[in-house]
Structure 1
């Protein structure tokens, strides 16, 4: 791999309707560098509508319509955009109780999601319910450490997905939390959970060296630092290699900016997670080039 990767980071938070184009793009771009814009969500939990004005903590915030408007504006300004989700799409509002995940899949397809992984609540309608909802999704699910071979989801999900965006080749894979004791057995049936760190090391190595990906991204529903689980995003970062970015979920952690951690070789890996309920849209810009490293952190209010 001859090209070096540089990054520019920001966080987009939905708190209103008006979008300022100047805030959603960077006015001064690094010269002679190609850019990929990674947008991401996690733990949206069937939150379709904007929070009401009377809400004690999030009045007039969130909502699919605002996220969609934000996405359209960013896509107008950026050539290479990848939209990802780190799981727990289901459960949390009457929309899930009524439509059992179908509405969420339809809306994510309409918003142009490229890829997602499964969280523990995405099993809440059972495997049959997920299968029925997935028929309305036009994007893949990557579930590297869930073995569905003895279930009706066999061959439905993938270990990883590769995307070509402009000059970039991006490999995306997903790891999920253990289901025993967290999800009713009847909902996941004979799904086998595999330890995520050995799986992550194997797939990241394959994506980096066999597939020659410029970026390797892990969609993690392990949690940022859950006390009840040994495996989490921070241990995932420190005990693996060849991963550039971990997009997290499960613990509803709101990180004001992506964190820089060191992997097992002492190389930098980013971790980001943007809360829950679709209140925030994460944005991280990576550049391909050979000279300088460009960074910028923005909190963009919408």
Structure 2
């Protein structure tokens, strides 16, 4: 057995103990590992921060992120790369190119899907529409209804990815734009209730599509302590069922590892967010046994 294979199997067996499997039973169990890499709120940060930056010196940068992603893909075969929105706005690259460079670079890194953040409307819905041909990945948003806009048909509510026999369902949820974005920027885009929409997506993905893993790409925000009635990722996790992982954005929340929330059925939901500006890359590994029972582990990787 190769050293890396042994390490992976040992790590997987440790994680599998959380499923009630003993090490002896693990020896006869086939394990499939699914790796989910993710970013959020990159905000047009293409270059690394300069050496004299007071907070993020020499951190981030698309080239470094691309190298890190490439290295992980060489080590692990079943990898999904996802983004939780706010791709646009934050550096002169966006001011000059309007998002073209961001979408092209994400396509080169082979992102699988992204949801839409409020700042992705900063050049209006026309500006977002104009850049869509440069994106070779899926845009997912289940609670933004674009049917009366030029974006109709360009955004899907969900997508199912098949990774070595494991079906991964991914759907997107966006924040309410009213009061956050000028109406003329998003025009006739309709915002639907995120909790109700999420539960309908889960029904489709679990019952109809028979997904083994359900991931929500959310731009709701991690938590709002001063606004207890505002929907956030922690509330979305607690008020729904059958979501395994919520990848969040909007609040620029730096988490070293995922937060675990109990859903309405008492099952664990992982909620993760990796700050902003491409400083970190999130990584969540799910391990599935032959009966599709799963365990997980997650961390934030500094770029």
Shared fold by TM > 0.5?
yes
- Correspondence for 2:233: 233
Matched, 1:281 2:285: no
- Higher mean C-alpha displacement, 226-235 vs 120-129: 226-235
Q: Assess, with a 3 A threshold, how the Cα gap between structure 1 residues 291 and 132 changes in structure 2: closer, same or farther.
A: closer
Give 1 or 2 for the bigger CA radius of gyration: 2
- Correspondence for 1:58: 56
Cα separation, 1, equivalents of 2:81 and 2:278:
13
Which of 173, 187, 190 lines up with 1:189 in the alignment? Answer: 187
C-alpha offsets along residues 12-41 of structure 1, whole Å, 9 cap, x if unaligned? xxxxxxxxxx8xx85844363111000000
TM-score when normalising by structure 2: 0.88
Q: Assess, with a 3 A threshold, how the Cα gap between structure 1 residues 29 and 256 changes in structure 2: closer, same or farther.
A: closer
Cα separation, 2, equivalents of 1:238 and 1:85:
22
TM-score when normalising by structure 1: 0.88
Which of 115, 122, 125 lines up with 1:124 in the alignment? Answer: 122
Deviation at 1:242, TM superposition (A): 1.1
**How does 1:29-178 map onto structure 2 within 5 Å?**
29-30=11-12, 32-178=30-176
SS at match of 2:138: coil
- Correspondence for 1:271: 271
**How does 1:16-35 map onto structure 2 within 5 Å?**
26=8, 28-30=10-12, 32-35=30-33
SS at match of 1:95: helix
Cα separation, 2, equivalents of 1:103 and 1:298:
28
8 A contact 2:43–2:276 mirrored in 1: yes
Cα separation, 2, equivalents of 1:301 and 1:239:
31
Q: Assess, with a 3 A threshold, how the Cα gap between structure 1 residues 187 and 56 changes in structure 2: closer, same or farther.
A: same
Q: Assess, with a 3 A threshold, how the Cα gap between structure 1 residues 301 and 98 changes in structure 2: closer, same or farther.
A: closer
Count matched residues. Answer: 279
Cα separation, 2, equivalents of 1:168 and 1:253:
30
Structure scoring higher RCO (CA < 8 A, sep ≥ 6) equals 1
Structure in which a larger fraction of residues adopt helix: 2
Q: Assess, with a 3 A threshold, how the Cα gap between structure 1 residues 46 and 233 changes in structure 2: closer, same or farther.
A: same
Cα separation, 2, equivalents of 1:189 and 1:293:
42
Cα separation, 1, equivalents of 2:212 and 2:203:
12
Q: Assess, with a 3 A threshold, how the Cα gap between structure 1 residues 165 and 291 changes in structure 2: closer, same or farther.
A: closer
Cα separation, 1, equivalents of 2:161 and 2:297:
25
Q: Runs ≥4 in structure 1, deviation > 2 angstroms? A: 25-32, 226-229, 290-302
Q: Assess, with a 3 A threshold, how the Cα gap between structure 1 residues 272 and 198 changes in structure 2: closer, same or farther.
A: same
- Correspondence for 1:257: 257
